[in-house]
Chain A
Amino acid sequence: ETGVTQTPRHLVMGMTNKKSLKCEQHLGHNAMYWYKQSAKKPLELMFVYSLEERVENNSVPSRFSPECPNSSHLFLHLHTLQPEDSALYLCASSQVVRGGTDTQYFGPGTRLTVL
């Protein structure tokens, strides 16, 4: 148990559906992240929120929409996804520090399948 929870753990959706992934951290951290992990590819950073402001968006398609209402919660809203978006979506949190990126704590992930 890392202190980061994600729901749902598994999600199957059609290309026309709208769904949301939820992440919650209980560690008092001030930064949260969304990563995408596809088979045989490195983890891809999608979004970074630091102090509740989005600081990084790695050219992610607009069908993925993040929301960070407070430092403990992070959402990823999904709409009109494509089958190639099927992947494991991982949330992480950390404490922003000077001198580099500190340890990140990951949730268990949401396994997304787009039909």
Chain B
Amino acid sequence: SQQGEEDPQALSIQEGENATMNCSYKTSINNLQWYRQNSGRGLVHLILIRSNEREKHSGRLRVTLDTSKKSSSLLITASRAADTASYFCATDNQAGTALIFGKGTTLSVSS
């Protein structure tokens, strides 16, 4: 299946530090998306990067995409306690009808 795999599974940092999460996938994609989930809640879309883009920014978020390595990274700069959540990457399924999510990275930011 075209499942994204996030790395690391868990990450603990101090407020103010940067957090980097990685995602690898298996087959060609049209786009790759990152989502965030607070404990027991729905997912919130963070950013979408298309296959012809290499880097995208949104506030304190920076996403890169390397289609030759089939990988993406999400960087959160100057992290805050409120960034504590699980982060998921998602890619298209082969039919282009839905997203396939990875297992996620659980980020814990302590003050």
Could you tell me which A residues sit within 8 Å of B by CB distance? Answer: 2, 4, 6, 33, 40-43, 45, 48, 50, 55-56, 88, 90, 92, 99-109, 111
Could you tell me which B residues sit within 8 Å of A by CB distance? Answer: 3, 29-31, 33, 35, 40-45, 48, 50, 88, 90, 92-93, 95-104
Assess A45 versus B100: contact at CB under 8 Å? Given A100-B31, A103-B48: yes
Option from A33, A56, A88 in Cβ contact (under 8 Å) with B95: A56
Q: How far is the CA of A1 from the CA of B33 in the complex (A)?
A: 20
Q: How far is the CA of A99 from the CA of B29 in the complex (A)?
A: 9
The answer to whether A107 touches B48, judged by C-beta atoms less than 8 angstroms apart, is no
In the bound complex, residues from chain B placing their C-beta under 8 Å from that of A106 are 35, 42-44
Assess A55 versus B103: contact at CB under 8 Å? Given A2-B44, A4-B42, A105-B45: no
In the bound complex, residues from chain A placing their C-beta under 8 Å from that of B90 are 104
